[in-house]
């Protein structure tokens, strides 16, 4: 069941991914409430009304990033950890095809005259970067309001809001490749260091929700660089499913992982 307000225009429609997602929980419980406002309204994604998305005031306040995302409410009914994790993965997967841009809101599409920060994908239009992608996904799915700056998000050890769907303490997972692969669960966030040593990227662990060619675990992220899939085809920039290979940059640069959803 597609989440229509999040269904993006695929910026690389010719690419055919060898990966997909699968779920053990029924749509009726995992996606409950997404047909109601504000989830069902793409124009409600930001903290300001859609009529103010492209005003001079918005440009002054947020510049090339555009308006900040709204903080979505938590679901009205409690759910177990497996359903909550798969709910997060469902939202992330609904954004596959969205481009990579330094923006806060998936639906925000700046006009040609808007200030624009050049990115590797080279296109002007809708998109998200890695930490804003994860911030939006957790907010939309569970009402969990994470910091969207990569440094602040990576250093988060306590969930910002207590609640029945949230862990009061963010669990940190450390260790090598084998430790992480053995311990990580769907919707854990893995933080990756740049070659300079600072955390510069974040990915969402798919775990049992990821399926497809190859033996490497799978993640979903918003990435501006090229990663090869199991067919050795470059994966386009933007929100895509990508392999977490032992010898790849993700694994070599992994700093730690965060578990936002407690067991």
The full DSSP string for 100-149 is B-S-S-TT----TTS-----TT---SS-B-HHHHHHHHHHHHH------S
CATH of the domain at 206: 3.90.1720.10
Q: pLDDT tens-digit profile of 56-87?
A: 999 999 999 999 999 999 999 999 999 999 99
Model confidence at 237, pLDDT cuts 50, 70, 90, reads very high
Q: pLDDT tens-digit profile of 86-136?
A: 999 999 999 999 999 999 999 999 999 998 888 877 678 999 999 999 999
Q: Which of 1-5, 56-60, 210-214 has the lowest mean pLDDT?
A: 1-5
Q: How many domains does the chain have?
A: 1
Q: pLDDT tens-digit profile of 162-178?
A: 444 344 468 889 889 99
Report the candidate in 105, 103, 108, 94 with the shortest Cα–Cα distance to residue 70.
Answer: 105
Structural domain including 172 reads 4-259
């Amino acid at each position: 069941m597609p989440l229509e307000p999040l269904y993006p225009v695929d910026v690389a429609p010719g690419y055919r991914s060898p990966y997909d997602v699968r779920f053990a929980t029924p749509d009726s419980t995992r996606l409950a409430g997404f047909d109601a406002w504000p989830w069902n309204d793409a124009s409600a994604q930001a903290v300001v009304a859609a009529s103010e998305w492209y005003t001079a005031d918005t440009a002054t306040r947020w510049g090339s990033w555009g308006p900040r995302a709204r903080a979505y409410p938590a679901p009205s009914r409690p759910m177990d950890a497996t359903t909550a994790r798969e709910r997060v993965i469902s939202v992330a997967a609904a954004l596959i095809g969205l481009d990579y841009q330094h923006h806060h809101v998936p639906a925000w599409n700046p006009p040609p005259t808007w200030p624009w920060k050049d990115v590797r994908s080279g296109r002007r239009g809708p998109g998200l970067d890695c930490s804003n992608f994860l911030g939006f996904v957790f907010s939309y799915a569970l009402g969990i309001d994470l910091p969207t700056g990569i440094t602040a998000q990576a250093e988060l050890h306590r969930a910002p809001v207590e609640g029945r769907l949230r862990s009061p303490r963010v669990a940190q997972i450390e260790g090598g490749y084998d430790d992480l692969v053995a311990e990580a669960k769907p919707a854990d966030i893995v933080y990756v260091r740049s070659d300079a040593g600072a955390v510069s990227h974040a990915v969402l662990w798919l775990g049992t929700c990821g399926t497809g060619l190859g033996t490497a675990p799978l993640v979903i992220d918003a990435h501006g660089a090229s990663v090869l899939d199991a067919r050795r085809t470059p994966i386009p920039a933007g929100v895509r499913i990508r392999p977490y290979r032992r010898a790849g940059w993700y694994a070599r640069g992994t700093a730690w992982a965060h578990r936002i959803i407690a067991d």
